Structure 1
Amino acid sequence: MARHNLSTVVRFEFLRTLKKKSFWATTLIVPIVMGIVLGLVGFSGESTSKSVSAQQNAALSFQYLDESGLISEQLGKDSGGTLATERQGGIDAVRAGSSEAFIYIPADPARSAIEVYGEDRGMFESGIYSAVATKMLGTAVKERIGSQELTAMAAGRFSFSETMFKDGEVSGGFFAMIPPMLFLGLFYLVILFLGNQILNSTVEEKENRVTEMLLTTMNASTLIVGKILAILATGVVQMLTVAAPAVLAFMLLRGTAGIPDISLTALVPEPSAMIIGALLLAGGFILFAAALVAIGSVMPTAKDANGLFGAIVITMFVPLYAVPLIMSAPDSLVVQVFTYFPFSAPVTAMLRNGLGSLGGMEAAIVISELFVLGAVVIAVAVKLFRHGSIQYSSKVPVLAALIRRG
C-alpha cells in the first residue's frame, strides 16, 4: 500500500507540474533568450567586422605629415593622402573645411601619439580617419619588414599547440573543465526555477485545507518523499529541455555567431569528474529540496514561505564571491569552510571539481555529507509537516514539533 501511495504521489505531482504553463514558460525562456543573445552577438560581431573593414577601405581625401619616414610618397598617394608642408597648416585646412582630414605621424610613433584631425561625422562614422591611418601605417610596416610572416610575429600573432599532463596522462586542459562545470549551471537552473515550487509544494495543501484528508490515506513520509522525487523528475525534464537545444546549437553553429570553434574531442572530460559532478548535483538538490520542503511545512501560507526563499538563494551565491580564492588557494581556510558547510558545499565542491582541485577523499566526504544531511532534513520535514498540517494561522514552533513524540 505504501509503495502504491508513493507512486501515486510522484505521478500526480510530476504530471501536475508538467501541465502548468508557468513551468514551460520559465523553462523554455532560457534556450529562447540564449538563442536571441547568440544571434545578436553574432550579428553585432559581423556588423563590427564589416564596419571596420569598410572604414579601412573607404575612399578618403586627406593631408598627412610623416616625420617618422615610414610612409613612402607612393603609399600616401595610394591611400588617398596628400603630403602637407607643416602640421599647423594641415590642422587649419581641416578647420576651414578645405580638407576632410589631417594625419600627423610623429618621429617616434611607437612612443608618441599619432594625431588625427577630421570633420565630425558622428560617433561611429568619425572612426574612419583612425582606420585609414591604421591601415596606412600597417602597410608601411609590412613594406619595411619585407615579410608577412615577420610582420605577424612582430604584431604578436602566434598560434600554439598545447599539451598538458596530469598524473602521467594527457590532460584535457581548459576545455576538459567545461563538462564538469555544466553540473553547476544545471544546479542553479533547477533550484532557481523550481525553488518556489518546492517551497510551496507543502503549503498548497495546508492552504487548500486538504492536508487532513491526505494524511488519512497515507503517512507524511510517503507524501514528502513522493513530492521530492516528483520534483527531482521535473528537474531532469527541465535540464534536458534546456541542455538539448544548447548542445544542438553548439554542434550546428560552432565557429559562427560568437560560438568558439572547439573540437568535440577537446571537451571529453575525465569520467571520475563527471561522476563526482553528477553525485554532487543530486546530493545538493536533495538537501536544498528537503530544506525548502521543511520551510514550507513550517509556514502557514505561501506568502510567508516565499520570504525565506531569498535566504536559501543567498547561500548558493556566496561561494561565487570566493572564486578567485577557490582558483588560487583551494586549501585556504575560507575555501575549506565553504567546501564542507552544507549549504555552500554543492556550489564550492562543483567549482573545485571542474577546476581539478577537489581530491577524491574530499569529494567522498562532501557527497556523503550531502546525502546524509539530505535524509536527515527529509525526516525533519516529515515531522514538521505532520505536526503543522492542521496549523493554518501561524508558524509551526520548530523546536516543540521536533521534541514532541508521534
Structure 2
Amino acid sequence: MNKILLILQREYMTRVRKRSFWITTLITPLLITAIYAIPALLFFAGGDLKTIEVIDETGLFKDKFKSGKDYAYTFKKAPVSQAKADLKKNKVTALVHIPADIIDHPNGLEIFSEKSVGLNLQNDIENIVQAEVRNQRLKRAGIDTQIIEDNRVNVNAETYSLTEGQEKSSNTGVSMGLGYAIALLLYFVVFFSGSQVMNGVIEEKSNRIIEVIVSSVRPIELMMGKIIGVGLVGLTQFVLWISLTIAISSATTHFLKVKLESKAKTELSSQASQKQVEAAVKQMSEAGPGSKIMGIMDTIGDLPWAKILTLFLFYYLGGYLFYSALFAAVGSAVESPQEGQQLIFPVTMPLIISIMLMSFIINEPDSKIAFWASIIPFTSPVNMMARIPFGVEWWEIGLSMALLVLGFIGTTWLAARIYRVGILMYGKKVTLKELSKWIFYKV
C-alpha cells in the first residue's frame, strides 16, 4: 500500500506542477463566465447610432419605422437615384426604397448601402414592411385587422414536477441543456484523463524507466498508483473549476447589476426616486439579453445541486477508474502513441455510443433505451448523468452505481493481467488476439 501511495504522489505532483495544468484551470472558469457576460456587456456598450433614410412612395409607413438606440429612421422625398448618389455624402448607413406598388408586389422592396447591411437590420425592415403589407391586404378584403391582432396570443405552459408529494416548478429546456452539458463534460474528462494514463505508461515504457520501477514494485501496484494519481489530478481541477466559476460568476453578476443601475440612473432625471430607478432596472433587464439568462439562472438555482454534484463526483470517479484501467492496459501493450490509437478504438467505442445515445435519452429520459444505457457500466457514467436533471428513481441510481463498481473491479483485474505482461514486452506488434492470450499467462 505504501508503494501505491508513493507512485500516486509522484503522478499527482508531477502533473499539478505543470504550467499547462494551471493555465487550463484558470482559463476554463473565465470562458464559462464569458458565455453570458459578453452579451450583457455588449448590451450596455451599445453601438454608434446609424441613420436610415426611407423613401416611402405609398405614405403608409410614416409611423411604422420607430427610431431606437441603434437606428434613427428619417423619411425623405427625393428621387431614388439622387438619394443613392448622396448616400455617402450624407453619412447614411442605408437607404430604404418602398415603391408605390409594394402592396401588390411585396418583392419590390429595395435596400441600398455603401457596404452590406447587417442581417438584423435587414430582417427588421423586412418585418415592418411585411406586417403593413399584410394589414393593407386584409383591409382591402374587408377584414378587420384589429380583431386579428386582439386574438393573436402566445401560449407558454408552466411546467411542474411532482416529486415526493411536492410540486416544484421545472423547465424542460434547462434540464435538457444541463443534462447534455454535464454528460458531455463527463465524457471529455473521462476520455482525456484515461488518455493521460495511457500516454504516461507508453512514455515510461519507451524510455525503459518502467524496467527499473518494476524491479521494486509489483505491476498491479504501479498501475493502480498511476490510475489513482491521474484521477486525483482531474478531481482537483474539477473542484478548482467549480470554486473559481462560482467566485468569478458572482463578481461578474454583481458588476452587471451595478452597471444596470448606473445606466438606469443616467437615462432618468437626477430627481428620480429609488422606486423609479428599480422599475427602470427591471424594465431594462426584461428587455435586454439578460432577461432569459436570469430566468434560466433562477431555474438552475432550484435544481437539486447537492444530489447532482454528488452523483457527478461518483460517476466521474467510477467512469474514470473503469476506463483508465483499460487505457493503462493498452498503453502497456504498445511502444508509441501511434500504435496505441489502433488498439484504443474498441475501448473508446462504448463512450462514443453513449454520446450517440445521449440526444435520444435527453428527449426520452424514461424510455427503456435510456434505462439500460444508464445501467450498463460501459455507458452509464455519461448516460445516467444525462438523465439526472430530469429526475431518476433511487433504485435505478443504486443499481447503476453497484454495477459500475463491479465493472471497475472487473476491468481492473482484466487490465492488470494484460499490464503485467505488456510493460516488459518489446519489439512485437500486438493484436487484440494477442492481448486475449496475455490474460491467461502465468507470470
User: Which residue does the alignment assign to 1:15?
Assistant: 13
User: Which residue does the alignment assign to 1:5?
Assistant: 3
**Segment of structure 1 superposing worse, 316-325 or 119-128:** 119-128
CA contact (8 A) 1:190 1:238 kept: no
Distance 1:333 1:180, change over 3 A: closer
User: Is 1:360 paired with 2:394?
Assistant: yes
SS at match of 2:311: helix
CA contact (8 A) 1:297 1:385 kept: yes
1:38-117 equivalences under 5 Å are: 41-42=39-40, 50=47, 54-55=49-50, 58=51, 60=53, 62-66=55-59, 80-81=74-75, 101-104=96-99, 113=106, 116-117=109-110
CA distance in 1: counterparts of 2:413 and 2:423, whole angstroms: 15
User: Which residue does the alignment assign to 1:144?
Assistant: none
CA distance in 2: counterparts of 1:128 and 1:330, whole angstroms: 41
CA contact (8 A) 1:116 1:129 kept: no
User: Which residue does the alignment assign to 2:435?
Assistant: 398
Letter in 1 for 2:301: L
User: Is 1:269 paired with 2:264?
Assistant: no
1:269-348 equivalences under 5 Å are: 269-270=303-304, 271-309=306-344, 312-330=347-365, 332=367, 334-348=369-383
Shift of 1:13: 0.9
CA contact (8 A) 1:180 1:274 kept: no
User: Is 1:196 paired with 2:195?
Assistant: yes
Letter in 1 for 2:385: M
Distance 1:266 1:209, change over 3 A: closer
Distance 1:105 1:314, change over 3 A: farther
CA distance in 2: counterparts of 1:402 and 1:169, whole angstroms: 52
User: Which residue does the alignment assign to 1:384?
Assistant: 418
Shift of 1:267: 1.6
User: Which residue does the alignment assign to 2:262?
Assistant: none
Distance 1:404 1:198, change over 3 A: same
User: Which residue does the alignment assign to 1:373?
Assistant: 407
Shift of 1:232: 1.4
Distance 1:314 1:104, change over 3 A: farther
CA offsets 1:216-265 (integer angstroms, 9 cap, x no match)? 32222221111111111101122123333332333233496966225568
**Segment of structure 1 superposing worse, 151-160 or 326-335:** 151-160
Distance 1:113 1:205, change over 3 A: same
CA distance in 1: counterparts of 2:408 and 2:237, whole angstroms: 22
Distance 1:6 1:258, change over 3 A: farther
Shift of 1:11: 0.6
SS at match of 2:374: helix
User: Alignment partner for residue 167 of structure 2, among 144, 157, 170?
Assistant: 170
Letter in 2 for 1:124: V
Distance 1:91 1:298, change over 3 A: same
Shift of 1:97: 7.2
What's the RMSD between the two structures over aligned residues?
4.5
Distance 1:313 1:155, change over 3 A: farther
Shift of 1:134: 6.7
Distance 1:383 1:101, change over 3 A: closer
Letter in 1 for 2:324: A
Shift of 1:10: 0.9
Structure 2's unaligned 5+ residue stretches are 67-71, 133-146, 257-287
CA distance in 1: counterparts of 2:150 and 2:343, whole angstroms: 58
SS at match of 2:115: coil
Shift of 1:199: 0.9
CA distance in 1: counterparts of 2:131 and 2:382, whole angstroms: 48
Distance 1:269 1:94, change over 3 A: same
**Segment of structure 1 superposing worse, 183-192 or 231-240:** 183-192
SS at match of 2:56: strand
Distance 1:252 1:181, change over 3 A: farther
Distance 1:82 1:264, change over 3 A: closer
User: Is 1:238 paired with 2:231?
Assistant: no
Distance 1:119 1:183, change over 3 A: closer
CA distance in 2: counterparts of 1:267 and 1:203, whole angstroms: 44
> TM-score, structure 1 length as denominator?
0.73
CA contact (8 A) 1:180 1:273 kept: no
User: Which residue does the alignment assign to 1:121?
Assistant: 114
Letter in 1 for 2:209: V
CA distance in 2: counterparts of 1:72 and 1:183, whole angstroms: 49
**Segment of structure 1 superposing worse, 366-375 or 314-323:** 314-323
Structure 1's unaligned 5+ residue stretches are 85-89, 140-149
Distance 1:129 1:200, change over 3 A: closer
1:106-255 equivalences under 5 Å are: 113=106, 116-124=109-117, 164-174=161-171, 175=174, 183-254=182-253
CA offsets 1:270-309 (integer angstroms, 9 cap, x no match)? 3444443332222111111111112112223343224444
CA distance in 2: counterparts of 1:206 and 1:29, whole angstroms: 33
CA contact (8 A) 2:186 2:316 kept: yes
**Segment of structure 1 superposing worse, 118-127 or 9-18:** 118-127
> TM-score, structure 2 length as denominator?
0.68
CA contact (8 A) 2:180 2:358 kept: no
Report the count of equivalent residues.
378
CA distance in 2: counterparts of 1:135 and 1:275, whole angstroms: 51
SS at match of 1:60: strand
